[in-house]
Protein backbone atom coordinates (compact mmCIF):
# COMPACT_ATOMS: atom_id res chain seq x y z
CA UNK A 1 0.00 0.00 0.00
CA UNK A 2 2.91 2.28 0.71
CA UNK A 3 4.27 1.67 -2.77
CA UNK A 4 0.93 2.52 -4.31
CA UNK A 5 0.80 5.83 -2.51
CA UNK A 6 4.26 6.79 -3.67
CA UNK A 7 3.48 6.05 -7.31
CA UNK A 8 0.37 8.16 -7.14
CA UNK A 9 2.30 11.07 -5.67
CA UNK A 10 4.82 10.87 -8.53
CA UNK A 11 2.00 11.02 -11.15
CA UNK A 12 0.32 14.12 -9.69
CA UNK A 13 3.02 16.63 -10.76
CA UNK A 14 3.02 15.26 -14.30
CA UNK A 15 -0.78 15.47 -14.38
CA UNK A 16 -0.69 19.07 -13.16
CA UNK A 17 1.88 19.93 -15.78
CA UNK A 18 -0.27 18.35 -18.50
CA UNK A 19 -3.32 20.29 -17.42
CA UNK A 20 -1.54 23.65 -17.40
CA UNK A 21 0.24 23.13 -20.73
CA UNK A 22 -1.40 24.21 -24.07
CA UNK A 23 -1.63 21.17 -26.21
CA UNK A 24 -1.83 23.18 -29.51
CA UNK A 25 1.18 23.58 -31.72
CA UNK A 26 3.03 26.91 -31.27
CA UNK A 27 3.69 29.09 -34.41
CA UNK A 28 5.94 32.07 -34.98
CA UNK A 29 3.01 34.40 -35.99
CA UNK A 30 -0.31 34.52 -34.18
CA UNK A 31 -3.41 33.88 -36.26
CA UNK A 32 -5.20 36.92 -37.72
CA UNK A 33 -8.18 38.28 -35.84
CA UNK A 34 -11.59 37.29 -37.12
CA UNK A 35 -13.17 39.70 -39.65
CA UNK A 36 -15.60 42.20 -38.18
CA UNK A 37 -19.18 41.26 -38.50
CA UNK A 38 -21.25 43.34 -40.92
CA UNK A 39 -24.03 45.04 -39.08
CA UNK A 40 -26.93 46.55 -40.95
CA UNK A 41 -27.46 50.30 -40.29
CA UNK A 42 -30.39 51.04 -38.16
CA UNK A 43 -33.07 52.76 -40.24
CA UNK A 44 -34.88 55.53 -38.44
CA UNK A 45 -38.49 54.86 -37.98
CA UNK A 46 -40.79 57.22 -39.78
CA UNK A 47 -42.92 59.31 -37.55
CA UNK A 48 -45.53 61.90 -38.12
CA UNK A 49 -43.92 64.06 -35.48
CA UNK A 50 -40.41 63.68 -36.90
CA UNK A 51 -40.71 63.14 -40.65
CA UNK A 52 -37.70 62.09 -42.66
CA UNK A 53 -35.87 65.14 -44.10
CA UNK A 54 -36.07 65.72 -47.83
CA UNK A 55 -32.92 65.28 -49.88
CA UNK A 56 -31.09 68.46 -50.77
CA UNK A 57 -31.95 69.80 -54.23
CA UNK A 58 -29.48 71.93 -56.15
CA UNK A 59 -30.97 75.35 -56.79
CA UNK A 60 -31.11 76.33 -60.43
CA UNK A 61 -31.84 79.73 -61.89
CA UNK A 62 -35.32 79.87 -63.29
CA UNK A 63 -35.38 80.73 -66.95
CA UNK A 64 -38.19 82.92 -68.23
CA UNK A 65 -40.27 80.79 -70.58
CA UNK A 66 -40.38 81.74 -74.21
CA UNK A 67 -43.20 84.14 -74.99
CA UNK A 68 -45.73 83.28 -77.69
CA UNK A 69 -44.59 84.54 -81.10
CA UNK A 70 -47.58 86.89 -81.35
CA UNK A 71 -47.08 88.44 -77.90
CA UNK A 72 -45.97 92.05 -78.11
CA UNK A 73 -45.93 92.11 -81.90
CA UNK A 74 -47.10 95.72 -81.70
CA UNK A 75 -43.59 96.55 -80.43
CA UNK A 76 -41.90 95.24 -83.59
CA UNK A 77 -42.09 98.37 -85.72
CA UNK A 78 -40.72 98.03 -89.25
CA UNK A 79 -38.00 100.23 -90.74
CA UNK A 80 -36.41 100.31 -94.16
CA UNK A 81 -33.98 97.52 -95.05
CA UNK A 82 -31.05 99.93 -95.20
CA UNK A 83 -31.85 101.37 -91.77
CA UNK A 84 -32.33 97.90 -90.30
CA UNK A 85 -29.00 96.69 -91.69
CA UNK A 86 -27.20 99.79 -90.39
CA UNK A 87 -28.64 99.45 -86.89
CA UNK A 88 -27.82 95.76 -86.71
CA UNK A 89 -24.26 96.34 -87.94
CA UNK A 90 -23.67 99.01 -85.29
CA UNK A 91 -24.96 96.87 -82.43
CA UNK A 92 -23.09 93.85 -83.77
CA UNK A 93 -19.82 95.79 -83.67
CA UNK A 94 -19.76 95.74 -79.86
CA UNK A 95 -17.87 92.79 -78.40
CA UNK A 96 -19.36 93.28 -74.92
CA UNK A 97 -22.54 91.20 -74.44
CA UNK A 98 -25.83 93.06 -74.92
CA UNK A 99 -29.10 91.47 -73.82
CA UNK A 100 -31.54 94.08 -75.14
CA UNK A 101 -30.94 96.95 -77.54
CA UNK A 102 -33.16 99.48 -79.23
CA UNK A 103 -32.74 102.59 -81.35
CA UNK A 104 -35.04 105.60 -81.21
CA UNK A 105 -35.34 109.22 -82.23
CA UNK A 106 -35.39 111.19 -85.45
CA UNK A 107 -32.46 109.22 -86.84
CA UNK A 108 -34.59 106.07 -86.92
CA UNK A 109 -38.11 107.35 -87.55
CA UNK A 110 -38.78 110.48 -89.53
CA UNK A 111 -39.78 113.65 -87.70
CA UNK A 112 -41.05 116.92 -89.06
CA UNK A 113 -38.31 119.53 -89.26
CA UNK A 114 -35.71 117.31 -90.91
CA UNK A 115 -35.80 118.11 -94.59
CA UNK A 116 -34.96 115.37 -97.06
CA UNK A 117 -33.93 115.42 -100.66
CA UNK A 118 -35.92 113.99 -103.55
CA UNK A 119 -34.35 110.53 -103.23
CA UNK A 120 -35.41 110.35 -99.58
CA UNK A 121 -31.95 110.92 -98.09
CA UNK A 122 -30.81 113.76 -95.91
CA UNK A 123 -29.50 116.79 -97.76
CA UNK A 124 -26.13 116.86 -96.08
CA UNK A 125 -24.04 114.74 -93.76
CA UNK A 126 -24.10 117.39 -91.05
CA UNK A 127 -27.89 117.68 -91.25
CA UNK A 128 -28.49 114.03 -90.44
CA UNK A 129 -29.74 113.49 -86.89
CA UNK A 130 -27.68 111.45 -84.47
CA UNK A 131 -28.70 107.82 -84.02
CA UNK A 132 -29.73 107.13 -80.41
CA UNK A 133 -29.31 103.70 -78.82
CA UNK A 134 -29.98 102.15 -75.41
CA UNK A 135 -28.26 98.90 -74.41
CA UNK A 136 -29.51 96.80 -71.49
CA UNK A 137 -26.83 94.51 -70.06
CA UNK A 138 -26.43 92.20 -67.09
CA UNK A 139 -23.21 93.54 -65.52
CA UNK A 140 -22.53 97.18 -66.52
CA UNK A 141 -19.08 97.45 -64.94
CA UNK A 142 -17.87 94.36 -66.75
CA UNK A 143 -19.52 95.57 -69.96
CA UNK A 144 -17.78 98.93 -69.81
CA UNK A 145 -14.42 97.34 -69.07
CA UNK A 146 -14.70 95.25 -72.25
CA UNK A 147 -16.04 98.16 -74.28
CA UNK A 148 -13.39 100.55 -72.99
CA UNK A 149 -10.72 98.12 -74.17
CA UNK A 150 -12.36 97.84 -77.60
CA UNK A 151 -13.34 101.50 -78.05
CA UNK A 152 -11.22 103.65 -75.73
CA UNK A 153 -12.01 106.71 -77.86
CA UNK A 154 -15.66 106.54 -76.86
CA UNK A 155 -14.76 107.55 -73.29
CA UNK A 156 -13.12 110.76 -72.04
CA UNK A 157 -9.78 110.49 -70.28
CA UNK A 158 -11.16 110.78 -66.76
CA UNK A 159 -13.64 108.00 -67.49
CA UNK A 160 -10.84 105.71 -68.59
CA UNK A 161 -9.15 106.26 -65.25
CA UNK A 162 -12.12 106.20 -62.90
CA UNK A 163 -14.30 103.72 -64.73
CA UNK A 164 -17.93 104.34 -65.63
CA UNK A 165 -21.11 103.04 -64.07
CA UNK A 166 -24.29 103.98 -65.95
CA UNK A 167 -22.98 105.87 -68.95
CA UNK A 168 -24.03 107.78 -72.08
CA UNK A 169 -21.43 108.10 -74.84
CA UNK A 170 -22.25 110.84 -77.34
CA UNK A 171 -20.92 111.96 -80.73
CA UNK A 172 -19.42 108.56 -81.48
CA UNK A 173 -18.61 107.97 -85.18
CA UNK A 174 -19.47 104.44 -86.30
CA UNK A 175 -20.19 103.00 -89.75
CA UNK A 176 -20.25 106.44 -91.36
CA UNK A 177 -22.80 107.94 -88.95
CA UNK A 178 -22.75 109.61 -85.55
CA UNK A 179 -24.37 107.77 -82.68
CA UNK A 180 -25.14 108.17 -78.99
CA UNK A 181 -25.56 105.09 -76.82
CA UNK A 182 -26.51 104.63 -73.21
CA UNK A 183 -25.92 101.54 -71.11
CA UNK A 184 -28.16 100.37 -68.27
CA UNK A 185 -28.99 97.09 -66.59
CA UNK A 186 -31.92 94.86 -67.47
CA UNK A 187 -33.10 95.08 -63.85
CA UNK A 188 -33.06 98.89 -63.87
CA UNK A 189 -34.85 99.03 -67.21
CA UNK A 190 -37.61 96.61 -66.21
CA UNK A 191 -38.10 98.31 -62.84
CA UNK A 192 -38.71 101.70 -64.48
CA UNK A 193 -41.02 100.15 -67.09
CA UNK A 194 -43.18 98.67 -64.33
CA UNK A 195 -43.06 101.32 -61.59
CA UNK A 196 -42.33 104.67 -63.29
CA UNK A 197 -39.98 105.72 -60.48
CA UNK A 198 -37.99 107.96 -62.83
CA UNK A 199 -39.72 107.67 -66.24
CA UNK A 200 -36.28 108.28 -67.74
CA UNK A 201 -36.26 104.99 -69.63
CA UNK A 202 -39.96 104.18 -69.55
CA UNK A 203 -40.82 107.56 -71.07
CA UNK A 204 -38.48 107.02 -73.99
CA UNK A 205 -40.10 103.68 -74.64
CA UNK A 206 -43.60 105.19 -74.83
CA UNK A 207 -42.65 106.39 -78.29
CA UNK A 208 -41.80 104.43 -81.46
CA UNK A 209 -38.50 102.59 -81.32
CA UNK A 210 -36.74 99.86 -83.26
CA UNK A 211 -35.81 96.72 -81.30
CA UNK A 212 -32.46 95.34 -82.45
CA UNK A 213 -31.82 92.68 -79.79
CA UNK A 214 -34.88 91.35 -78.00
CA UNK A 215 -35.34 89.90 -74.53
CA UNK A 216 -38.47 88.13 -73.26
CA UNK A 217 -38.44 89.82 -69.87
CA UNK A 218 -38.08 93.31 -71.34
CA UNK A 219 -40.76 92.70 -73.95
CA UNK A 220 -43.17 91.60 -71.23
CA UNK A 221 -42.53 94.63 -69.02
CA UNK A 222 -42.59 96.96 -72.03
CA UNK A 223 -46.10 95.77 -72.84
CA UNK A 224 -47.11 96.77 -69.31
CA UNK A 225 -45.39 100.13 -69.77
CA UNK A 226 -47.28 100.86 -73.01
CA UNK A 227 -50.59 99.93 -71.40
CA UNK A 228 -49.83 102.19 -68.44
CA UNK A 229 -49.11 105.09 -70.79
CA UNK A 230 -52.39 104.47 -72.60
CA UNK A 231 -54.39 104.35 -69.35
CA UNK A 232 -52.73 107.52 -68.06
CA UNK A 233 -53.44 109.42 -71.27
CA UNK A 234 -57.08 108.31 -71.26
CA UNK A 235 -57.50 109.73 -67.76
CA UNK A 236 -56.38 113.15 -69.02
CA UNK A 237 -58.61 113.21 -72.12
CA UNK A 238 -62.36 113.88 -72.58
CA UNK A 239 -65.03 111.46 -73.75
CA UNK A 240 -64.22 111.98 -77.44
CA UNK A 241 -60.90 112.91 -79.04
CA UNK A 242 -58.69 112.21 -82.03
CA UNK A 243 -55.93 109.63 -82.15
CA UNK A 244 -53.42 112.42 -82.70
CA UNK A 245 -54.50 114.00 -79.41
CA UNK A 246 -53.98 110.63 -77.74
CA UNK A 247 -50.49 110.21 -79.21
CA UNK A 248 -49.56 113.76 -78.25
CA UNK A 249 -50.60 113.13 -74.65
CA UNK A 250 -48.57 109.90 -74.53
CA UNK A 251 -45.47 111.40 -76.15
CA UNK A 252 -45.59 114.40 -73.83
CA UNK A 253 -45.32 112.31 -70.65
CA UNK A 254 -41.53 112.07 -70.78
CA UNK A 255 -41.06 115.75 -71.69
CA UNK A 256 -43.27 117.21 -68.95
CA UNK A 257 -40.91 118.55 -66.31
CA UNK A 258 -37.79 118.10 -68.43
CA UNK A 259 -35.64 121.20 -67.82
CA UNK A 260 -34.46 121.13 -71.42
CA UNK A 261 -37.98 122.06 -72.54
CA UNK A 262 -37.82 125.23 -70.43
CA UNK A 263 -34.25 126.21 -71.23
CA UNK A 264 -33.15 126.82 -74.83
CA UNK A 265 -31.84 123.24 -75.05
CA UNK A 266 -34.57 121.37 -76.92
CA UNK A 267 -37.01 121.93 -79.75
CA UNK A 268 -40.28 122.96 -78.09
CA UNK A 269 -42.21 121.58 -81.04
CA UNK A 270 -40.57 118.17 -80.69
CA UNK A 271 -43.70 116.34 -79.54
CA UNK A 272 -45.86 117.78 -82.32
CA UNK A 273 -43.18 117.06 -84.94
CA UNK A 274 -42.82 113.51 -83.72
CA UNK A 275 -46.52 112.69 -83.76
CA UNK A 276 -47.04 114.36 -87.13
CA UNK A 277 -44.63 112.05 -88.98
CA UNK A 278 -44.92 108.94 -86.79
CA UNK A 279 -48.68 108.67 -86.43
CA UNK A 280 -48.73 105.26 -88.13
CA UNK A 281 -46.09 103.89 -85.75
CA UNK A 282 -47.96 105.24 -82.72
CA UNK A 283 -51.15 103.58 -83.93
CA UNK A 284 -49.34 100.27 -84.36
CA UNK A 285 -48.12 100.51 -80.77
CA UNK A 286 -51.42 101.35 -79.08
CA UNK A 287 -54.39 100.35 -81.23
CA UNK A 288 -54.40 96.65 -80.25
CA UNK A 289 -53.85 97.52 -76.59
CA UNK A 290 -56.84 99.88 -76.62
CA UNK A 291 -59.12 97.09 -77.85
CA UNK A 292 -58.56 95.26 -74.58
CA UNK A 293 -59.44 98.20 -72.32
CA UNK A 294 -63.04 98.51 -71.09
CA UNK A 295 -65.09 101.43 -72.29
CA UNK A 296 -62.75 102.40 -75.18
CA UNK A 297 -64.11 102.46 -78.74
CA UNK A 298 -61.56 102.91 -81.51
CA UNK A 299 -62.46 101.65 -84.97
CA UNK A 300 -60.07 99.90 -87.32
CA UNK A 301 -60.10 102.70 -89.91
CA UNK A 302 -61.14 105.51 -87.58
CA UNK A 303 -59.05 108.35 -86.30
CA UNK A 304 -61.64 109.22 -83.65
CA UNK A 305 -61.72 107.60 -80.22
CA UNK A 306 -64.52 107.47 -77.67
CA UNK A 307 -64.28 106.38 -74.06
CA UNK A 308 -66.51 105.92 -71.06
CA UNK A 309 -65.73 108.75 -68.64
CA UNK A 310 -67.91 107.56 -65.76
CA UNK A 311 -66.31 107.28 -62.36
CA UNK A 312 -66.46 103.49 -62.47
CA UNK A 313 -64.67 103.30 -65.84
CA UNK A 314 -62.01 105.81 -64.83
CA UNK A 315 -61.47 104.02 -61.52
CA UNK A 316 -60.67 100.84 -63.45
CA UNK A 317 -57.82 102.71 -65.21
CA UNK A 318 -56.71 104.54 -62.09
CA UNK A 319 -56.24 101.38 -59.99
CA UNK A 320 -53.77 99.94 -62.50
CA UNK A 321 -51.47 102.92 -62.89
CA UNK A 322 -47.77 102.34 -62.03
CA UNK A 323 -46.94 102.50 -58.34
CA UNK A 324 -44.53 105.41 -58.78
CA UNK A 325 -47.35 107.61 -60.08
CA UNK A 326 -50.24 106.15 -58.10
CA UNK A 327 -48.53 106.67 -54.74
CA UNK A 328 -48.13 110.36 -55.55
CA UNK A 329 -51.82 110.61 -56.44
CA UNK A 330 -52.73 109.08 -53.08
CA UNK A 331 -50.66 111.71 -51.30
CA UNK A 332 -52.29 114.54 -53.26
CA UNK A 333 -55.88 113.49 -52.54
CA UNK A 334 -55.28 112.56 -48.92
CA UNK A 335 -57.55 114.49 -46.58
CA UNK A 336 -60.06 115.48 -49.26
CA UNK A 337 -62.58 112.89 -48.18
CA UNK A 338 -63.05 109.62 -46.32
CA UNK A 339 -59.87 107.59 -45.94
CA UNK A 340 -59.16 104.70 -48.25
CA UNK A 341 -59.26 102.24 -45.37
CA UNK A 342 -62.79 103.27 -44.42
CA UNK A 343 -64.40 102.37 -47.76
CA UNK A 344 -62.03 101.47 -50.58
CA UNK A 345 -64.68 101.33 -53.30
CA UNK A 346 -65.99 104.77 -52.40
CA UNK A 347 -62.42 106.07 -52.27
CA UNK A 348 -61.61 105.01 -55.84
CA UNK A 349 -64.86 106.38 -57.17
CA UNK A 350 -64.27 109.70 -55.44
CA UNK A 351 -60.72 110.08 -56.78
CA UNK A 352 -61.61 108.92 -60.29
CA UNK A 353 -64.55 111.32 -60.45
CA UNK A 354 -62.53 114.31 -59.27
CA UNK A 355 -62.40 117.00 -61.96
CA UNK A 356 -58.86 117.87 -60.84
CA UNK A 357 -57.52 114.37 -61.57
CA UNK A 358 -56.06 115.25 -65.03
CA UNK A 359 -54.15 118.21 -63.62
CA UNK A 360 -52.97 116.13 -60.66
CA UNK A 361 -51.65 113.43 -62.99
CA UNK A 362 -49.83 115.93 -65.21
CA UNK A 363 -48.31 117.73 -62.22
CA UNK A 364 -47.08 114.52 -60.56
CA UNK A 365 -45.62 113.17 -63.80
CA UNK A 366 -43.71 116.42 -64.21
CA UNK A 367 -42.25 115.98 -60.72
CA UNK A 368 -41.20 112.41 -61.51
CA UNK A 369 -39.43 113.46 -64.70
CA UNK A 370 -37.78 116.65 -63.42
CA UNK A 371 -35.20 115.28 -60.98
CA UNK A 372 -33.76 112.36 -63.03
CA UNK A 373 -33.75 114.47 -66.19
CA UNK A 374 -31.80 117.22 -64.41
CA UNK A 375 -29.34 114.75 -62.88
CA UNK A 376 -28.80 113.00 -66.20
CA UNK A 377 -28.18 116.32 -67.96
CA UNK A 378 -25.49 117.18 -65.42
CA UNK A 379 -24.09 113.67 -65.58
CA UNK A 380 -23.86 114.01 -69.36
CA UNK A 381 -21.27 116.76 -68.96
CA UNK A 382 -19.08 114.40 -66.94
CA UNK A 383 -19.59 111.35 -69.12
CA UNK A 384 -19.12 113.11 -72.45
CA UNK A 385 -16.42 115.62 -71.51
CA UNK A 386 -16.40 119.36 -72.07
CA UNK A 387 -15.76 119.29 -75.81
CA UNK A 388 -18.48 116.81 -76.68
CA UNK A 389 -20.87 118.44 -74.21
CA UNK A 390 -20.37 121.80 -75.90
CA UNK A 391 -21.08 120.25 -79.30
CA UNK A 392 -24.17 118.47 -77.99
CA UNK A 393 -25.51 121.61 -76.29
CA UNK A 394 -24.91 123.69 -79.41
CA UNK A 395 -26.88 121.19 -81.47
CA UNK A 396 -29.76 121.26 -78.99
CA UNK A 397 -29.83 125.05 -78.89
CA UNK A 398 -29.96 125.07 -82.67
CA UNK A 399 -32.98 122.78 -82.56
CA UNK A 400 -34.61 125.06 -79.98
CA UNK A 401 -34.31 128.18 -82.14
CA UNK A 402 -35.37 126.21 -85.18
CA UNK A 403 -38.52 125.15 -83.33
CA UNK A 404 -39.21 128.71 -82.18
CA UNK A 405 -38.84 130.11 -85.71
CA UNK A 406 -41.02 127.39 -87.24
CA UNK A 407 -43.77 127.86 -84.65
CA UNK A 408 -43.77 131.63 -85.07
CA UNK A 409 -43.92 131.33 -88.86
CA UNK A 410 -46.84 128.88 -88.75
CA UNK A 411 -50.14 130.76 -89.17
CA UNK A 412 -52.60 130.27 -86.35
CA UNK A 413 -55.74 128.40 -87.26
- pLDDT single digits (tens) 336-372: 777 888 889 999 999 999 999 999 999 999 999 988 8
pLDDT given at position 58: 58
Residue 268 lies in a domain: yes
Residue 53 lies in a domain: no
Residue 50 lies in a domain: no
Query: Three-class SS of residue 100?
Result: strand
Q: How many domains does the chain have?
A: 1
Residue 257 lies in a domain: yes
Residue 65 lies in a domain: no
Contact status, residue 255 vs residue 103, Cβ threshold 8 Å: no
Integer Cα distance of 134 and 251 in angstroms: 18
Please, what is the Cα angle at 204 between 351 and 329, to 5 degrees?
15
Q: Which residues of the chain have pLDDT under 70?
A: 1-65, 112-127, 157-166, 260-267, 376-413
Q: Against a cut of 0.85, is the pTM above it?
A: no
Integer Cα distance of 384 and 159 in angstroms: 9
Residue 4 lies in a domain: no
Residue 301 lies in a domain: yes
Domain that holds residue 226: 73-113+126-397
pLDDT given at position 218: 97
C-alpha distances out from residue 78 to 75, 107, 108, 227, 285, Å: 9, 14, 10, 20, 12
pLDDT given at position 256: 85
Residue 312 lies in a domain: yes
Amino acid sequence: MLSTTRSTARRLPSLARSLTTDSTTHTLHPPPPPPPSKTEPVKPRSSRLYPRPRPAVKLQRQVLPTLPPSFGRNQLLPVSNSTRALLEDIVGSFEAPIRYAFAYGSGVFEQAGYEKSVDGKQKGKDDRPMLDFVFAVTHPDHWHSINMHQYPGHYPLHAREVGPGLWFNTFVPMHGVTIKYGVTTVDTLCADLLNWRTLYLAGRMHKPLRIIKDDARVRLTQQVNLTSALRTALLTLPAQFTQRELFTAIAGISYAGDPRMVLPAENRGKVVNMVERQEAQFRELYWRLAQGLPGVRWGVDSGMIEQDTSAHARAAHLKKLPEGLLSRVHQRVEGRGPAREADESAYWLRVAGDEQLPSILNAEMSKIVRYPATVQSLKGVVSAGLVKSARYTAAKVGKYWKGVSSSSSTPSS
